[in-house]
Amino acid sequence: MIEIVELPELVCIGYEIEADWQDLATLMPKLWQRLFAADTGATSFLEVSSEPAEGRFRELVGFLAAGSTEIPDGMTKLVLPARRYLRLHYEGPLLGIASGFQRLYDHAAATGLKTGDLKLDFGYTPGLTDTRHELHVALEPQPLLLG
């Protein structure tokens, strides 16, 4: 089931890269392994993805943290403001996650919702096993209507 949810401000800490689409399949598993090998004490992991320009993607693999959490060496802190998202619970192989995101974009197009380029994927675990994921696509803010 696809639903609209509102998430609070999220503080994400992790490793960030920018790469072309065709390079992500090779780079992302290595980045996850690097994160899981780091001694962060984290238990809630996510991937934050955006497409800043011309087919290149900016990806952060990391964990949710408190605002005051120290940033480990080599990692980046990313603060995402509170906003609305389309959400889909996905269960299946990791290779199918892209099709889950496509379902969210197709739903947005069919219902007239405007999406941004920000995507969130919660559910990664050490070993990159096939677990349940929560996929989110950011919605553009709606203009205020004055009555």
Q: What is the pLDDT of residue 52?
A: 66
Residue 113 maps to a domain: yes
pLDDT, residue 119, reads 96
How many structural domains does the chain have? 1
Give pLDDT tens digits for 63-108: 999 988 899 999 999 999 999 999 999 998 888 998 999 999 999 9
CATH number of the domain to which 39 belongs: 3.20.80.10
Handedness of CA 129, 80, 50, 24 (dihedral sign): negative
For residues 23 and 56, what is the distance between their CA atoms, to the nearest angstrom?
10
Q: Please check whether residue 102 lies inside any domain of the structure.
A: yes
To the nearest 5 percent, what fractions of the chain are helix, strand and coil? 25, 45, 35
130 in a domain, yes or no?
Answer: yes
d(CA 99, CA 142): 26
Task: Kindly report, residue by residue over 27-49, the tens digit of the pLDDT.
Answer: 999 999 999 999 888 888 999 99
| Residue 72 belongs to some domain of the structure | yes
Calpha distance 108→4 (Å, rounded): 10
Q: 31 in helix, strand or coil?
A: helix
Residue 146 lies in a domain: no
Strands (E), 8-99: 10-20, 45-53, 56-64, 76-80, 83-90
Q: Is residue 85 part of a domain?
A: yes
Q: What is the reported pLDDT for 80? A: 95
Please determine, for residue 117, whether its predicted confidence score (pLDDT) is greater than 90.
no
Q: What is the mean pLDDT of residues 108-117?
A: 93
Does 147 reside within a domain? no
Q: Which residue range is the domain that position 18 belongs to?
A: 2-139
Query: Is 123 inside a domain boundary?
Result: yes
